[in-house]
Amino acid sequence: MIKPARLRSVLLRGLLVVVLLIGTVMGILWAVQRQLIYFPDASRVPPAGEVIGGARDVTLHTEDGLELGAWFVPAAERRAGPGAPMAVLVAPGNGGNRAGRADLARELSERGLAVLLMDYRGYGGNPGTPTEEGLAADAFAATEALAALGYPPERTIYFGESLGTGVVAALQVRRPPAGIVLRSPFTELADVGSHHYPFLPVRLLLRDRFPVATHLSSSQVPVTVIYADRDTVVPSALSARVADAAGSLVERLVIDGADHNDPVMFGPRVAEAVARLAREVS
């Protein structure tokens, strides 16, 4: 028979081992969490004109001293109409690079909109490592580049895709645009993490928060929200809650039968929704 003192000692040692194991796992997750959020395609992209006719390369200059590559796609002349067109700043999701958004840029251009396809730090051959603060600086630099091209924020639509919805939701607080389009938005990143990793204390560990709904709740910038009803990456219920929270919702477009990265989510229906908002606010 084990003596009470001996039993207490064994239990305490066992508890200490468990605590150390949990602490080690939490420490590892804290250290590598951004590798679970950002999936950059760091390979260099070709010159803009080789991918999209009439497009050209531009350089974004961030507040912390980085130079980032981006593509500017002018509005198609036959569709631009009288006067100067509006522009769309495309803030992408957490994967790939700007070459993967070329088709969307063409669709927007064909609808009379100029387009800036940006890549965040660490993406598309750009220097740096992605973080929430860094992406915010990158997007602000994109607005500076568009203003230099003749498109100040009041003539720009911010288009955020997935993680990019967190980027533009914060950007519109600092530099309000003519309108915002949120494609597959989430309320905050922790809600997405908790959905995919319900066994982890995501809210305690997460460093990059991207509080989309909070930023929108007090905003009067016109908003269009687009989401797929079978999204396996960002649950459609979270996107619906963002639309509900928007202070000035213009349109809610739910694409039936689609998943997060299906071609339809980068295609004509999405581009037409952006164009509708542009006509609404112009």
Helix (H/G/I), strand (E/B), else coil: 34: helix
The reported pLDDT for the residue numbered 21 is 47
The reported pLDDT for the residue numbered 112 is 95
219-268, pLDDT tens digit by residue?
A: 999 999 999 999 999 999 999 999 999 989 999 999 999 999 999 999 99
Q: Cα–Cα distance between 77 and 75 in angstroms, integer? A: 6
* pTM of the model as a whole: 0.88
Domain chopping of the chain, boundaries: 15-281
**Is the pLDDT assigned to residue 24 strictly greater than 90?**
no
Q: What is the mean pLDDT of residues 176-201?
A: 92
Average pLDDT, the chain: 89
Is 2.40.50.140 the CATH classification of the domain at 15-281?
Answer: no
* 8 Å CB contact between 272 and 112: no
Q: What is the mean pLDDT of residues 41-63?
A: 94
The reported pLDDT for the residue numbered 197 is 83
The reported pLDDT for the residue numbered 204 is 78
- Between residues 187 and 35, which one has the greater pLDDT? 187
The reported pLDDT for the residue numbered 16 is 54
114-166, pLDDT tens digit by residue?
A: 999 999 999 999 999 999 999 999 999 999 999 999 999 999 999 999 999 99
Kindly report which listed range (3-12, 86-95, 242-251, 265-274) carries the lowest average pLDDT score.
3-12
**Is the pLDDT assigned to residue 3 strictly greater than 70?**
no
Where in the chain does DSSP place strands (E)?
A: 39-40, 56-61, 67-73, 87-91, 95-96, 114-118, 156-161, 179-183, 223-228, 249-255
Q: Residue-wise over 88-106: b if at least 16 C-beta within 10 A, else e?
A: bbbbbbbebbbbbbbebbb
The reported pLDDT for the residue numbered 31 is 52
- Residue 67: what are its φ and ψ, rounded to 5°? -115, 120
